[in-house]
Amino acid sequence: MENLQLYLAIVSGVALLLFLIMKWKLNAFLSLLFASIWVGLLGGLNTDEIIDSIAKGMGDTLAFVATIVGLGAIFGAILEHSGGAQALARYLLKKGGESKSRLALLSTGFIVSIPVFFDVGIIILMPLVKALAKKSNRHVLYYGLPLLTGLGITHSFIPPTPGPVAVADILQVDLGYAIVVGALVGIPVALFCGLIMTKFLVPDTPDGELEIATETTDQALDEGLVRTIFWVLGLPICLILLGSFLNTMAREGLIASSVFVDVAAFIGHPFVSLLLATFLALYFLGVKKGLGKEALFKLSNDSLAPAGSIILITGAGGVLKTVMINTGIGDIIAQGMLNTSFSVLLLAYLVTVLVRIMQGSATVAMLTGAGIVAAVLPGMDLNMLEKTFIMMAIASGSIVMSHVNDSGFWLVNRILGQSVQQTLRSWTIQSSLISVTSFILVLIAYQFV
């Protein structure tokens, strides 16, 4: 009877979350908090335990995530303002030529989405897509879909973008593992879905209604800026990977702990590596490009406004996780899964898919999936690589079926100038292909862990 009540708590909690977001149009932060309290009450927690769960869940999650998201937001704003994203795209187009322009745009989206939000990446790079479409007399989707694929995959799979960082923190996945596995999953999926599958979704005729683009592909190429973009973007990732690698080696006893290992681990911590990269970006992409102190101050301040919303929603996702752990729901689900052949990987994917399709937000879907799965993990004996693949299953589910309840769907629809039906036949199908393909790859790879 008690088990039935706990199952009812989790099912009704997810239903309440979807109802508040979809029917009442309530902010995701408030909806997650309400759903968490409901799960706690129905799951048998007293009022003091619920309050403690809210404080602990919010505090534990934001202790890590808030710093990363804040630094990433400033970093991304500097990259956007400097014109670095467009310069990177033009550089890759020049090196690859028109024959490899789709690969260049896919690569640009993949790289740019590391520090820049998905929506922002669309806004700053789509003028280049329109210019290429007019110049080559092709449909805008011929170039637009590869770019969207690159942006979407990195946004869901690879830290330090906010969603993957939050999921990694909730599941206690090392960011070094997350970056490596995310790239190993994301790159082949991006190439397959972005270059091959998109050809079946693009109309043969040119887009006659395409507006004149404001960006041209013939602008002077600042190769110095491109080199700066590469090393400033690559620095934090390399430092995180090095610190994670040495930490793992020392923890497993393969190398001795030393001052060098400690220093590398310190510099390679996401807090320090991203802080260093942000300062370098402020100087080389800001000061060196003629931005004054007041302009940099305003740019940094303005960039934190959208970050604040993401931080609070992420914290509320941590609350949901903590409440479910404290009710004991996770232990019951884990025990039930051990007695059946149902996979935690499949649970992670299906829960995330359900929430994503129903309410539209990839971030909320990732946090809900991670919260439910995190409650199950303590009852299972999983190593770091196994937990990383579970994180990738959640990432796969978060990108599925972008449609009319997703703000990204409407942004793509408006900027590309397509009808709703055209967007459903292109980006909605493409996002679902990315989801299914990546999950199949994760499922296969998980069997060998």
Comparison of pLDDT for 2 and 431, the residue scoring more: 431
SS3 at position 161: coil
CB atoms within 10 A of CB 258: 11
- What per-residue confidence (pLDDT) applies to 217? 47
Could you give the C-alpha distances from 382 to 336, 345, 355, in angstroms and in order?
16, 12, 25
First to last CA, the chain: 37
Enumerate residues 6+ apart whose C-beta is below 8 A from 277. 71, 75, 232, 233, 235, 236
Least confident of 70-74, 104-108, 204-208, 215-219: 215-219
> What pLDDT, in 10s, does the model give residues 119-162?
888 888 888 888 888 878 888 899 899 999 999 999 999 988 88
Task: Render pLDDT for 196-209 as a digit per residue (tens, 0 to 9).
Answer: 998 888 887 666 55
Distance between CA atoms of residues 100 and 89, nearest Å: 12
Q: What is the mean pLDDT of the chain?
A: 86
Residue closest to 139 by CA, chosen among 354, 386, 425, 351: 425
Return the percent helix, strand and coil in the chain, to nearest 5: 80, 0, 20
The contacts of residue 390 (CB under 8 Å, 6+ apart) are 171, 344, 345, 348, 373, 377, 382
Token representation of residue 212: 């004149």
Domain count, the chain: 1
Give the model's pLDDT for residue 212: 46
Which structural domain, as residue segments, surrounds residue 8?
Answer: 2-446
Q: What are phi and psi of 96, to 5 degrees?
A: -90, -20
Calpha distance 320→329 (Å, rounded): 12
Q: Give me the pLDDT at residue 85, please.
A: 78
Give 406's DSSP letter.
-
Overall average pLDDT of the 285-301 stretch: 87
Contact of 369 with 348, CB cutoff 8 Å: yes
Does this model's pTM top 0.85? My answer is yes
